A and B are shown apart, each in its own frame.
Chain A
């Protein structure tokens, strides 16, 4: 009976329950986590499609005046126009081309620092581990957004020089608007990445600590395997499922943090289409009731973060099954 319950939940009582039961008759029940994961994946596929097809889908140029200012949503302008007469719909679509790569790059960057440091810290143990854990825990306990604010605020103007010189080193000339946008993007990505390194560190370290004592690791060691081999071939594969989960959740966090930074005025310079920046601008026109300027970019953020969170949470249940209540 217990098993039965875990596999197929009893339908809720009442009329709604009967409707659900009718709808689900004959349907094989996989457990809520699969549905959550699939829903998240569908949302993300849809977002991916939007991101790739934005230039074809967007009816107007997102950075150029497309019509009268403050036009409410209607057939011509699906989501209305903003204070400069730009089409909000086109800006929302194009925004994903800015926000998603930024979030991905920061999450990847955090992963590439957090993963090796976590592996080494957990594996080496002793003093190294204690010092690294102390540093990471301190950063982890601190409100990440504040740290990111401080970093972006400091890096802001100076990162231009860094970009320019490194691009020149590669033989590329970067200047003008591209330089401004690129340097702002770099500061944001670096700041978010640094803030999220401890998330990966803690997860990886915890996994290593629990796997390190397993029999097969001990067996490998007694056969004379080198530390590097043990770490890479016996311990690392155990961490991969958790990395997938944390990465997915982390991208959601990164999107929210990026939006927060942009909303505070630390985002990409205008006229780049960015949801957070658009919300910041729309806020000024809220008292006049221009609801479309803030509603749609925000909905898009919710949609994207929801996709990543659902995918992450669902995968977590599937990949790291615990005896949790379903």
Chain B
């Protein structure tokens, strides 16, 4: 018993740095933000308890509804496009006999290493309506490119395009999953008369479906918190053209640090957490039939 106790204490001592970090930098701030979400807290003054007012206020806040809609549209487009593109890119890179495979792997992954702010600045020029590279390329095909970042109808597609550019991380994960698919399954599929496309849908996709689920969930968590890129790009035009570049987290940030509404911002953060938890739960539920786990 004494030895067990000693070992337990030693164990706790070893994990104490993590425990300390978890309590001080995560659990405590989370608990405090939950408390603040029930207060009126302008940051410069002490919080005053207001009960559930911050939560009921969300029901009638039209700006919040706009940002929620923008975030939903952004997520609905970005997640499936990014997941699909990452699988397709991984499959292409995994093609047998591909010359320069390493180069393509690096080329796809490099954008994820670029700091978001630097990436956003570069994209601002790439998408410039007058001198932007994208419109110059479109011009070669006699297409008059839009004012991507100044046009209400094109701001959202532009942001989605920028998000998809950072698909490298999920592509690398998909690539790793693809390489784990047993070769004999493809041989069996070939014997059954499957061509490459049927084999992709009947063998590859089911076998990498756990990785697709992982990519989808992590991407959803990131995308629903989108902030940096629209914040940098639309710093001058607050909210972007027609507010199309104004997202849930941007509004949360403004409430916290510009409008003196830290209590409301905390309530928004908790609702955001709840939304992410529910969607993650739904995805796990749906995955029971869609995701194939190899038995040990």
Chains A and B belong together in one complex: no
Interface residues of B (CB under 8 A from A): none
Interface residues of A (CB under 8 A from B): none
